[in-house]
Amino acid sequence: MWRSFLRSLRVRMALLLAAAVLTTVAAGLAVVWTFVIADDHVEGLASAQRRLELLSSLSGRVGDYALVAMQTTEAKGQPDRLSLPRKRVQETFVRLDEEIARAVVRSSDDEQATLIAARSRVLAQMRGRFDFLDRQALESIRDARLGQAGNVERLRTAMDTFAAAFGPSLSQAIEEERATANAAQAAMAELRAKLLPGAIGGVGLATLLALAAYRALARPLVSRISQVASAAADIARGRTDIRLPVRGHDELSLAMMRFNRMASQLARKEARLMAAQARLQEVIDERTAELRGANERLSDIDRARRRFFTDVSHELRTPLTVILGEADVTLRGKGDEAALTAALTTIRSRARRLHRRVEDLLRVARSESGQLELELEPVEIKDLLADVREAMEPAARARGIALVVDAGDFDLQVEADGDWMRQVIEGLVANALRHSTYGGTVRLIAGIDSADTVAVAVSDDGEGIAEADLPHVFERFYRGAQADRESSGFGIGLALARWVVERHSGSISLDSRTAAPGRAPGTTVTIRLPALAHRLVIGARS
């Protein structure tokens, strides 16, 4: 019965805990008892030391009082000079009374309490002698101030009488306190001598009990728990084939059986997890590649934006500087009408350029917010191209470039916002003019792309666009290898053109060639818009 009872881990742990609690309680009671006795001795020693310090301080303060009283009498000074020394002596007497009272209250021995109380009577006599000396000193000082002779000698005699009675009492009190302190030290030494063998014996007994409890109860349990911990560590390192040897029928044996079942389940789940992890890694690799590409594109866009705002600052500052300079010169000078007209012409030219830049920025802001109000109406392609040619012809002549317009033999018509489409085509022509060389040609060609599509192409014979830049030409603020050219623009023309064309349900594409053996360079931008089929009429060919 007892063997089966002791098989339970709960019973074993309860017995081990009970033994530990009993040992701890016994040790705690012994320590508390020791502390109580030691504290009583330590407090008695500390009280005696404090009284010794106060008695020593009293001797010095009484001496200071006597010295001040003698000096005041000889100098016929004010009696107030004795106030501070008197106060210090009286404070010392008060503190001594308090210490003796506390010692009497704390003492558990009636005989010892009676002896300590007897010191209070001695202290009262010493205090009475000091009060008598204080009255004599005040009388001597008062008589000296009234001009009576012999006061110094009389005070000195009084002090000698006081010293003859006060000194032995003070010495006796000091010796009694020293004896009390020595007695407290001797009691502590005696207590230490008594407790040391008991403490050593208690430690030895506790050690023997702990070893016996460990061998009988704890060691078998610790050994099996170590096996579980080692197996758990192996599983944590990935060895799911570990199994524990199960012996016995207690709670730990049941836990070890469940541990073995858990290890088997982990082995099966690990196999499924590895397969899922492999699939997940493939997905992560794909998404990481996509994210890396997106980050690179964002970095390119961010660099383009920073460069764009730098160029905007330069482009806006230059015409403003010229405008302000011309205005200042005109206002300071007294020139003729021709000089004033020239200044106003310069201001007007620079202001127009500034206005165009601001309009570009406004269009960019609208495109960023998605705001574009289109007024769709039938638009004749020939008329649209004629307006573009009229607006861009002066710029083409200034650059020495021929601007050729070919609208074909058809009356082409689309439904569009005429102002927006004119701005888009003018921007493409302006790009072509910037990238063409002197003596080159820019062609503006319109035609039928398919049964329901009208195509408008702007081509030049410039240096072409580098192959590395072609995938990015429609990105906002992208300027590519020509970013350092003063006339390269802000990198918003093609992006804005695509945005407007797509709002018209159309499309825009670019084809460019750089110079190569046997191949002429050039760039062609083509806009395709839905045609109004019922207005698509074939005209007479010339």
Is 70 exceeded by the pLDDT of residue 304?
no
428 burial (CB, 10 Å; 0-12 / 13-18 / 19+) is: buried
Identify the residue with better confidence: 177 or 41.
177
3-state secondary structure of 308: helix
373, HSE (Cβ side, Cα atoms, 13 Å): 0
Residues listed for the chain:
542
Buried b (16+ CB within 10 A) or exposed e, 153-187: ebbeebbeebbeebeeebeebbebbeebbeebeeb
Q: pLDDT tens across 80-122, in order?
A: 888 898 888 889 888 888 887 777 777 666 666 676 667 777 7
CA 150 to chain centre: 85
Cα-Cα-Cα-Cα torsion 164, 165, 166, 169, nearest 10 degrees, comes to 120
Tokens of 451: 């049964």
Is 60 exceeded by the pLDDT of residue 536?
no
Give the mean model confidence (pLDDT) for residues 267-280. Answer: 85
Cα separation of 411 and 300, whole Å? Answer: 43
Tokens of 108: 């558990």
Q: pLDDT tens across 207-235, in order?
A: 887 777 667 666 766 777 787 788 788 77
* Pairing state between β 453-460 and 537-538: unpaired
Residue type (1 letter), 157: T
**For all residues of the chain together, what is the average pLDDT?**
77
3-state secondary structure of 437: coil
Is 70 exceeded by the pLDDT of residue 15?
no
Whether the CB-CB separation of 107 and 116 falls below 8 Å is answered with: yes
Tokens of 512: 């460019």
* Pairing state between β 410-411 and 537-538: antiparallel
Closest to 525 in 3D by CA, of 399, 430, 401: 430
Residue type (1 letter), 94: V
For residue 10, what pLDDT band results from cuts at 50, 70 and 90?
A: low
* Pairing state between β 413-416 and 537-538: unpaired
Whether the CB-CB separation of 301 and 475 falls below 8 Å is answered with: yes
Share of the chain above pLDDT 70, in %: 75
Closest to 446 in 3D by CA, of 487, 486, 498, 411: 411
Whether the CB-CB separation of 463 and 481 falls below 8 Å is answered with: no
H or E segment to which residue 28 belongs: helix 9-75
Helices (H), 333-460: 337-369, 381-399, 418-434
CA distances from 272 to 233, 243, 267, 278, 492 (A): 21, 21, 9, 10, 53
Give the mean model confidence (pLDDT) for residues 23-27. Answer: 74
CA 448 to chain centre: 64
Cα separation of 141 and 73, whole Å? Answer: 5
Q: pLDDT tens across 454-472, in order?
A: 999 999 988 888 777 777 7
For the chain, the straight-line distance linking the first and the last C-alpha, in angstroms and rounded, comes to 125
State the pLDDT at residue 1.
46
Q: pLDDT tens across 229-258, in order?
A: 887 887 777 777 777 777 766 667 777 778
